A and B are shown apart, each in its own frame.
Chain A
Amino acid sequence: MLNLLNLGKQLRKIGVWQVFLVVMALPTLLALLGVLSSFLHPDIESLSHLAQYVLPQTIKNTIFLVVGVGVVTTTLGVSLAWLTAVCDFPLRKFFVWALILPMAIPGYVMAFALVGLFEYTGPVQHFLRETFGSSSAFPDIYSYGGVVMALSLALYPYTYLMVRNAFQTQGLRSLEVGQSLGLSIRESFWRICLPMARPWIVGGTLLVMMETLSDFGTVAIFNYDTLTSAIYKTWFGLYSLPAALQVASVLLIFVVVITLLERRSRASQRFSQTRSAKSVAGRIRLSGVDRWLALLVCVLVFSLAFVMPVMRLLYWAVPNMNADITSQFLGYVAGSTSLSLIAMLMIAGLALLMAFTARTYNSPFAKIVVRISTMGYALPGTVLAVGLFVPVAAIDNVLGAMGLSTPLLQGTMVVMLLAYSVRFMAVAFTPLESNLLRITPSIDAASRSLGVSGIKMLAKVHLPMVKGGLLTAMVLVFVDVMKELPITLMTRPFGFNTLAVRIFELSSEGLWERAALPALAIVLVGLIPAFILIRKSDAR
């Protein structure tokens, strides 16, 4: 009885802001519930087919892919970070930022550019045949190795950035400590620097693994079946939503495990955060052969991950330029741009509103809601697309029962924007949040004591102080939506095309020459956030 009274009191206290926060968290929760709802009405027939022929192979493939990409990106990321942060060799300053550039190339573009380079008819094997008479010893690009290489080259910059930051803040200083305690540089690296950087190494690796789990386009081009492609094929091939949802829930298990691990590694990053940001010690001057080896490694990675793919795209695109720039192509550009703009304004706006609401009504409830609504960055687009389809279809059914002509929501922009907002809310929220932390309670008090409060304070004090974060949030969301493939592919209105979808369609038909121009457009746009990151990462 007492509890009921308390509940009544609590309910009466609920205001507009609580409702708003709940609405913010709702899409993520609905998508998750949608995935799990498949257990209510399992499609036994499709499911047994899946369990027998599809799941064993795709689960195995997924695990192999995640582990393979994890190992390669970590090796690349850590060694490149060490070389550029702590050592000195020719062109080091250039490679510090140049090695970040491959993140501008989405996996699905990297994939067909590399295939174009290394397949039998590609320039590399052609060159080998011309020179040595045969290229039969060259490994097949359509293989496990090929997929791992494409994804690793597109994703290693994440690990590189995080680990480099760790080495930069503590590497040189801890090398000096090691030396003063009688360790050689090699011993210091293994016994001090590497263990100290572990939280960031683990964090970067897990981030890459998360991206690998979400990847759809790269594996599709290599015909390498993983859980994401199984979701797509089950829905669009077997036409069984329940079975697609079941596959999605298997993928969800992987996502949850990696997300939990990533949370933990972030906590230990906070724990091992060091104060002294700037290291004054001199870099290790590599001698003789070592300098040229270091240079060679950087040149190899940079050309393989950026120069050669971009050259390949240019080589395809330039001769067909006049034929390809048609009104149709411009239509895709316009479609992509307007979609990205709408999503950007909506998501950045909502994130700003949520950030201010959570700050003003700082409560455990608000914290939980923010956490839920920014959780979607870990959810693969394929999972979101099928998961959100369930509640949307249910709403359409209810509306239909009310006599409205349905479907009202299915196949409209609404579903697509909903899915984007779940996936990219964290992208927009994180830079805003770090800006908001600077607005201390005494800033509010100072403004009020000077006679400025309410909306005026928001406009004159708060907004200007988060301007930088808002701009970053908008750019990141814009580019991410433009590059996004599975959500757009699976939820777009009929006949609606974007650059990413067009690239996917053309490349899955093997029409790479024609996919090259839209791919270059995407890479160009993707360079913007890469340069933002380069500026932020203090690339010295």
Chain B
Amino acid sequence: MPNSNDIMMSESQDVIENYLSVDNVSIGFDGREILSNITFQLKRGDIGCLLGPSGCGKTTLLRSIAGFETVDDGMIKLNNKALSHHGYLLPAEQRNIGMVFQDYALFSHLNVIDNIMFGLHRFSKAQATIRANDLIARIGLVGKELAMPHELSGGEQQRVALARALAPEPQLLLLDEPFSNLDVELRETLSRDVRDIIKQSNTTALMVTHDQNEAFVMADNIGVIQSGKLAQWGSAYTIYHEPINAFVADFVGQGVFLEGKMRSPSEVETTLGCFEREESSTEQDSLATGDKVKVLIRPDDIIHDDESELTARVITRDFRGAEFLYTLALANGEELLVMVPSHHNHEINELIGIRLEIDHVVVFK
């Protein structure tokens, strides 16, 4: 018999673990299903990221959490309070959920500090000013309090939009493709800054992007969405090394699939040899001896080794500064990708030695 104290503990623990709870949510427009049976939970203080190609429905999911779209089925809860379910929608303005928009949507008639103070109607004027100035310092825009939005650079506008959304201390922060309008060089530094600002303010956040690098930098947990379905929800490491299906494997990170055949339910044979499959690697435990399968080979699974007897022919080479990304062809025509330090300069058609070092053997039917 557990005592009541334990139950209390586990309940508050439950609220922390399932701070944002999206449970079996389906959304459709005009009879066409956009999202079906989406389920995931976000822990309080974590940053989640919905990753997927354009048109997969990830923005619709974000907008339904914000309260701009109704939910046909399922339940969205935040901090144990229902926000949306079939036939019910708590209006966006009552949710206290902040949002950073793709186009920033700054109010063009208000200067930086007035934009940030816009949502602070619950604060006194003095408190609001203190809070806004604190945020301006945190986003590094001291001195630009009175600038109008059009006088700011893209990166500065983006940070003002972030500060405006964070100002009312939202229960949850949503970010819709927040870096897509920025230069590539800016994206990485800014996404690290944004992560720091969100983490410092102890805010739970959910972001939508189609760029895996942003997701890797920002997120504690990543959900990969494949045409309206949540294919996988997990840490960046899990998503990369233990993808649940071929789509996730292909969309996240680089890699190729080799033809393979199951020698036993836990052993797969390829042209590169036999590999032992881990029990937990995928859900597809129903593989039987003799099944034809695809084996995922990431660039980091292969090591260039001039001593090795196994060789492959260089087909293309992309210079990446510190590294070369070589595409290699095996004797039977199958191709591999390998990342090699760039002082190993090999010409096209050269045969180079390779060695396999696979930590996670990922096999799909």
Contacts and interface: CB of A to CB of B under 8 A. Distances in A.
Contact of A451 (B94, B107, B110): B94
Interface in B60-87: 63, 66-68
B164 interface: yes
Interface stretch (A4-12, A216-224, A438-446): A438-446
Contacts of A447: 107, 118
Nearest to B92: A448
Contact of B119 (A440, A450, A464): A450
Interface string A270-281: 000000000000
Interface in A412-454: 438, 440, 442-443, 445-453
Contacts of A60: none
B99 to A, nearest CB: 4
B343 interface: no
Contact of A465 (B91, B109, B168): B109
Interface string B108-147: 1110000000110100000000000000000000000000
B17 interface: no
A449 B109 contact: no
B108 A449 contact: no
A467 interface: yes
Given A445-B101, A450-B118, A467 B109 contact: yes
A510 B108 CA distance: 54
B107 A449 contact: no
B93 A446 contact: no
Interface residues of B, number: 27
Nearest to A466: B109
Contacts of A452: 93, 118-119, 121
Contact of B168 (A438, A450, A464): A450
A453 B93 contact: yes
Contacts of B63: 445
Contact of B107 (A443, A445, A453): A443
A472 to B, nearest CB: 15
A445 B92 contact: yes
Nearest to B122: A451
Given A440-B103, A442-B103, A461-B107, A449 B91 contact: no
A445 B109 contact: no
Contacts of B282: none
Contacts of B119: 449-452
Given A445-B66, A449-B66, A453-B93, A465 B107 contact: yes
Grouping DSSP codes into helix (H, G, I), strand (E, B) and loop, the B interface class, with mixed when no group exceeds half, is: loop
Nearest to A449: B99
A464 B109 CA distance: 7
A461 B105 CA distance: 11
Contacts of A443: 105, 107
A465 B108 contact: yes
Interface in B162-198: 164-165, 168
Nearest to A453: B93
Chain A interface size, under 10 / 10 to 19 / 20 to 34 / 35 or more? 10 to 19
Given A442-B102, A443-B107, A467-B109, A451 B66 contact: no
A442 B67 CA distance: 13
Nearest to B109: A464
A467 B98 CA distance: 27
B323 to A, nearest CB: 38
B96 interface: yes
B97 interface: yes
Contact of A445 (B94, B105, B118): B105
A475 to B, nearest CB: 19
Contacts of B98: 449-450
Contacts of A460: 118
B93 A449 contact: yes
A450 B121 CA distance: 9
A438 B108 contact: yes
Contacts of B121: 451-452
Contacts of B102: 442
Contacts of B93: 448-453
Contacts of B99: 445-446, 449
B105 A442 contact: yes
A460 B114 CA distance: 11
Nearest to A463: B109
A451 B118 CA distance: 9
Given A448-B91, A453-B91, A442 B118 contact: no
Given A445-B68, A451-B168, 5 more contacts: A447-B107, A449-B93, A449-B99, A450-B98, A450-B119
28 contacts: A442-B102, A443-B105, A443-B107, A445-B68, A447-B118, A448-B67, A448-B68, A448-B92, A448-B93, A449-B92, A449-B93, A449-B95, A449-B97, A449-B99, A450-B98, A450-B118, A450-B119, A451-B96, A451-B119, A451-B121, A452-B118, A452-B121, A453-B92, A461-B107, A464-B109, A464-B110, A465-B107, A467-B109
